Amino acid sequence: QKEVEQDPGPLSVPEGAIVSLNCTYSNSAFQYFMWYRQYSRKGPELLMYTYSSGNKEDGRFTAQVDKSSKYISLFIRDSQPSDSATYLCASNTGKLIFGQGTTLQVKP
């Protein structure tokens, strides 16, 4: 079992929809969580970063961590075609441990 698990999708939504991307992790000692966005044929880029439990908001993006259930979520409001990418959750333990990534397509 991977330490960080993510449903690979693909996920297809209409423009303007609210998108929910989710991961689970196995190690209760994990405290630092990140979301990366990766466009096709590009390297991943850091999108959001959270520490421990709670929410963090940045524009249309909200990252949420529930340590009691070992659950990580990324919400995208008013999704746009430019949000079409692969989204990778990760925990930073001194080394980044990634989930498999979820491919999102936002259709105009």
Partner 1 sequence: NAGVTQTPKFQVLKTGQSMTLQCAQDMNHNSMYWYRQDPGMGLRLIYYSASEGTTDKGEVPNGYNVSRLNKREFSLRLESAAPSQTSVYFCASSEGGSNYGYTFGSGTRLTVV
Which of 81, 106, 104, 85 is CA-nearest to residue 41?
85
Tokens (6 digits) for 41: 């044929």
**Within 19-78, which residues bind partner 1 (CB under 8 A)?**
31-32, 34, 41-46, 49, 51
| Distance in Å, CB of 42 to partner 1, minimum | 6
The reply on whether position 92 binds partner 1 by CB under 8 A is yes
On whether the CB atoms of residues 70 and 96 are closer than 8 A, the answer is no
Beta-bridge partner residues of 98: 90
Summarize as ranges the residues that interact with partner 1 (CB under 8 A): 2, 6, 8, 31-32, 34, 41-46, 49, 51, 88, 92-101
